[in-house]
Amino acid sequence: MSQSDADEFVTTLGPVVVAFNRLKIPHYVGGSVASSYHGAVRSTMDIDLVCDMQEQQISEFLSQFSQDFYVSEIAVRQAVARRACFNLIDYRTSYKVDVFIMRGRPFDRACMARAQRANLGSGDLSLSVPIATVEDTIISKLEWYRLTDETSDRQWDDVSRLVRLVGSKIDLEYLWSMAQDVGVSNLLDRLLGPGPR
């Protein structure tokens, strides 16, 4: 990612993170931004954020955004009700922020609790935000790979590169436990070799 791309990325993400912080909505960055942060770098125009927004926070959340952003109130309300996803589009940069409402599985709660605060960008455009751990990024991407009928080469390439980059630093016990919770143990077998049973 070039410096100008990084600046646009932070310009887009900043107002969303400010809104979450102002309303005390737990959140973290996941997806390809998280895998890039952990070393498996690739370009993307989408920013994945996971948050635990509640219905009573929706109106105030929407009020935080200016005409620089497209956001649909209907989509936000439906996403919160269904524990699904909505998006915001920054007209200035064309970046899209996909906001996933946290579900209640043990894995989802663990991701939120384990997210590690880090700085994205640099200088005046530096942004402090929680980022999914490498283990949680791997499990999330394996789940997306499963949900796309195991056809997304980009997701598989991301997790393969993460494993090569991080190697022995991965918490294997946690990884196998969460893979079982999410239902991707066989994919983790394929990625790492047969695990504990």
- 53-72 pLDDT, tens digit each: 999 999 999 999 989 999 99
Cα 96 from Cα 47, distance rounded (Å) = 6
Q: Are 40 and 34 in contact (CB under 8 A)?
A: no
| pLDDT, tens only, 134-153 | 999 999 999 999 998 888 88
In the three-class reduction of DSSP (H, G, I as helix; E, B as strand; rest coil), residue 100 is classed as: strand
H helices, E strands: number in the chain: 9, 7
DSSP string spanning 127-159? EEEEE--HHHHHHHHHHHHHHTTT--HHHHHHH
Extract the runs of DSSP E, i.e. beta strands, from the chain: 27-30, 46-51, 69-70, 85-90, 96-101, 116-120, 127-131
The full set of domain ranges for the chain reads: 3-104+115-132, 135-192
Ordered strands of the 96-101 beta sheet: 69-70, 85-90, 96-101, 46-51, 27-30, 127-131, 116-120
Q: For residue 197, what pLDDT is reported?
A: 54
Q: For residue 178, what pLDDT is reported?
A: 96
Which stretches of the chain drop beneath a pLDDT of 70? Answer: 1-6, 195-197
DSSP string spanning 166-184? HGGGS-HHHHHHHHHHHT-
Cα 129 from Cα 191, distance rounded (Å) = 29
Which of 95, 96, 101, 92 shows the shortest CA–CA distance to 57? 101
Q: For residue 5, what pLDDT is reported?
A: 59
Residue 92 per-residue DSSP state? T
Does the structural domain 3-104+115-132 have CATH classification 3.30.460?
Answer: yes
Which amino acid is present at 166?
A: V
How much is the pTM?
0.92
